Structure 1
C-alpha cells in the first residue's frame, strides 16, 4: 500500500520536473491515473501486478459507462506514460500497455434500437420483482423523453407535470428545458409510485423519482447495468447503453417526420450540428429500406 503511494508520488515529481508539464496538464494526467488506481483497488490487485487483460477490462468499463472515445484515448495515453515511467525507474520489466489499443476517433453512427427492440426490452422486465415496475417506468421515460442518463437519475417527482404532459429536465450546465412525455410513460410512472411509496427514503433523496431499494437515487452505472441485463434477457445482441435509448428516441422522431430544430430542443443540444448526426442515420435507414424493398434490388 505504502509502496503504491510512493510510486505515485515519484511519478508526480517525474511529470512535473522531467516532463515539465503545466499544472493543468499535470492535474489531468493524475486525474486519469486515479481512474486506473480506483479500478485496481476494486480488483484488490497491486498496481505492479496489473496485466494486459486487466487493462482491457478497465478500458471496457470506460466504454461501458459512456466515456467518449476521445477521452478514452487520453486516459490510455496517460496510463502508457505511467508504465513507461515504471520501466524507466526499474519498478517493472514488463509493460502491460504495449499492446493496448486506443479507440479509433472519427465519425461513427450511434447504435440504434428499432421500436420492436425497445418493446422487447421493456416486455422482458419481470414486474413481479420489487424493482420491476421502477425499471419499466425508468426505461420508458428514458426512451419517451430522450434523456441523458444523468438527467434521468436526477429527475425529481416535482419535475413531472402529469396533467400537462411534460417533464422539466436539468441538462448540461444547469440549463433547464421542458420535454413532452408520452401517455405511456406517465402511466408507467403512476404505476411505479405505488412501489416507490413502500421504500424507506434516505434523507436528501425525498424528491428523487427513481430510487434504489436502499432509498437513495440510482447511480448512472446502476442504470447502465439494468439496461445491459434487460437487453440480454430480451435477446438483443447490439451494444446497448442508456445513450442508445436517447439515440433511438431522436432517430425515430426524425423517421416520423419531426423537425430537426424540434429534436434539438428536446435533446438539449446547444448546437444544431450535434443534432444533425441523426440526419446521417436517417439517410442510412432510407438506403437500407431501398436495398431491401426496391423491386430492382430484389433477387429474381
Structure 2
C-alpha cells in the first residue's frame, strides 16, 4: 500500500524581515498535470520574522493557524488522491504547446485550427486563460477570419464550423485529461453549417480524364485511384505498399488507418485500381505526389478534359460514392467503403443519385 506523504508547515526567511509559510511534502509528490515531482507548496502567507509587539505576535499566530488549516486539507486531499490544490501549476501550463502537440498527432485540419488560434491569442495562452468568454471570442474570430495563406479571402462558414468543432474536440480531450475542472463545451454553441452543392463526375467525365494526359502523371494516377476507391487525399499521400496486401478471397485489399477518422479498415480494390499504383516497391505508392498538386495542376488538367465543373480532389471521393450507388451497390456497403461512422452520412449520395434519376425521367415528354 502506498505511503501517504507527510505534510509539514515550515517557514522560510525572505527579504524585509518577513518569513514565508510553505508546506513541505515528504516524500515528494508528483504533480499529475506537469508530471514533475515537488516537495514544496508556497501558501502566499507572510509573517513577521521577529515580532516587535503583541499585535505582530497575534498576527503571526493567526497566520500560522491558517497555514495549519491548509496543511490539514492537504493531508485529507492526499489520502483521497485529490490534487485540486495543484491547479495553480496546471493553469500556468502552456495551452498553445498542448494544442500544438495534439494537432501534430492529428491531420492537417487540426494544424490549421492551431495556427488560427495561435494568431487569435497573439502567440501566448495558458490553460488559465482558456475561459468560456475566450472560446466564444475565438468562435466570433473564426466567423470573420481570412485564410492563413490567401489573406484576401475569408474562410467559408462551413470551414469555420469545422474549425470550431475541432477546437471543441481539443477542449474535450483536455477536460478528460483533467486540465480543466469543468467541460467548457457545456457552455459553448457550435457554428451552424450551410447547405453546399456536392460536385462529382459522371462516368463519361471520368473516362474523359482517363483519355486526357496530365502534365503530372502521378497526379492523374492518384486522382483516378481515388475515383475507384473513394480514398481521401490525406490517405493517398500516406499510402504505402505495405498497406496493399493479398485478400483471402482473391485479389488485393487495402489495410490502413484513415487519417481523418483514425479508423482501422480493410478495403478491397479492383484490378484497375491496383494497376494505377504501378510496379510494387518499397515505401510510398504514389511517389512524388505533393499536396500542392491538387490545386492549380488539377484544375488545369480537368479544364483540358473539357469539364467545366468546379472539381477538387475531394470530388473524386464524391464521384466514387455516387457511381457505386448509381450502379446498384447498397448504401451500407458504400458507407463501409468510405469508412463513414454512420450510414446517415452516406445518405446524401443516395439522395443525389435519386435526384438524377428524377431528372432523367423528366427528359422524356410526349408534349
Q: TM-score range by the shorter chain?
A: 0.5 to 0.7
Measure the CA separation in 2 of the matches of 1:242 and 1:73: 21
Structure 1 position 288 matched with structure 2 position 363: no
Which structure's relative contact order is higher, taking Cα pairs within 8 Å and 6+ residues apart?
Answer: 1
- The corresponding residue for 1:139 is 223
Q: After the TM superposition, which residues 1-300 of structure 1 pair with which residues of structure 2 at under 5 Å, given as runs?
A: 22-26=133-137, 36=147, 38-40=149-151, 54=152, 58-59=153-154, 69-72=157-160, 105-126=193-214, 131-132=216-217, 134-161=218-245, 164-171=251-258, 172-190=260-278, 207-212=283-288, 218-219=290-291, 221-292=292-363, 294=364, 297-299=365-367
C-alpha deviation, 1:155, in angstroms = 1.1
Structure 1 residues 185 and 106: CA distance shift in structure 2, 3 A: same
Q: Is the 8 A contact 2:219 2:293 kept in 1?
A: no
C-alpha deviation, 1:24, in angstroms = 3.6
C-alpha deviation, 1:146, in angstroms = 0.5
C-alpha deviation, 1:218, in angstroms = 1.9
Bigger strand fraction: 2
Bigger helix fraction: 1
Offset from partner CA, 1:47-76 (integer Å, 9 cap, x none): xxxxxxx3xxx24xx57xxxxx4224788x
C-alpha deviation, 1:31, in angstroms = 7.8
C-alpha deviation, 1:252, in angstroms = 0.7
Aligned residues: 215
C-alpha deviation, 1:106, in angstroms = 3.3
Q: Is the 8 A contact 1:141 1:181 kept in 2?
A: no
Q: CA RMSD in A?
A: 3.6
Q: Which runs of 5+ in 2 are unaligned?
A: 1-118, 164-191
Q: TM (normalized to structure 1)?
A: 0.60
Measure the CA separation in 2 of the matches of 1:175 and 1:208: 20
Q: Which runs of 5+ in 1 are unaligned?
A: 1-6, 41-53, 64-68, 76-103, 198-205
Q: TM (normalized to structure 2)?
A: 0.50
